[in-house]
Amino acid sequence: MTLPVKLSPHRKKRYLRLFTALRKRKSAADDVLAENAHEAIFAATNCLDCANCCKTHPPLLEGPDIKRIAKHLHLSEASFMSNYLLLDEDGDWVFHTVPCPFLESDNKCRIYDHRPKACREYPHTNRKKLYQISDLTLTNAEICPAVAPILDKLAAELHIP
C-alpha cells in the first residue's frame, strides 16, 4: 500500500456526497457496511509498512491512557506527563514529540499493548455514525492510506458517484 497523498477535488467531493448520504439515511445498516469495509481493507493492510499516523500526528491521551502507560513504564503519572506529554492549543494531552516517542525504527510500537485509546481506534473508520466525524475522516484520508479505499468501498456499495 502506498503512502497517502492529498485528496483530489473529485475524490473529496465524492466523500462529501457519501457523508451527506450517510447523514440523511442515519441507518444502522450503514454502520455495518462501514465496519465491513474497514475490516476488508485492514485485512489486506500492514500498518507497519507505513506508520504515517505515528510519524506525523500525535494522539490525544485521556486520563486512563496516562495511568495505563505510566504504570507500564514504571513511572508516576506526573513523571510520565512531564517527560512525554504537553497540553496542545485545544487543552488536550498529546505526546510532546513527533514522531511518537514510542515508535521504533521498524515501525513497531514499544507500548503497543498499552497504547492510547486514540491509537487503538485509529483511523476511526469502523465507528458507528461515521458521518459525525466526516471532517476528521477526510483529514485521516490524507494520513492513512487505508482510509480512502474504505471510503471508496463504502461509496461504491451505496452507489455514490
For residue range 28-72, list pLDDT tens digits in order.
999 999 999 999 999 999 999 999 999 999 999 999 999 999 999
**In this predicted structure, what is the pLDDT of residue 100?**
97
Residue 131 resides in a domain: yes
Mean pLDDT of the residues in the chain: 95
**In this predicted structure, what is the pLDDT of residue 2?**
55
The pTM of the full predicted model, rounded to 2 decimals, is 0.90
Cα 147 to chain centroid distance, Å, stands at 9
Q: Which three cell numbers stand for residue 46?
A: 500492514
Residue 4 resides in a domain: no
Q: Please name the residues in contact with 43: beta carbons below 8 A apart, sequence gap of 6 or more.
A: none
Residue 2 resides in a domain: no
Neighbours of 96 (CB within 10 A): 15
Closest C-alpha to 114, from 36, 61, 159: 61
Q: 134 lies in which domain range?
A: 9-52+123-157
Report how far residue 13's alpha carbon sits from residue 156's, in angstroms, rounded to the nearest whole number. Answer: 14
Residue 128 resides in a domain: yes
Q: Are residues 84 and 107 in the same domain?
A: yes
**How distant, in Å, are the alpha carbons of 10, 127, 128, 153 from that of 36?**
24, 11, 12, 10
Q: Are 157 and 17 in contact (CB under 8 A)?
A: no
Q: Please count the structural domains in the chain.
A: 2
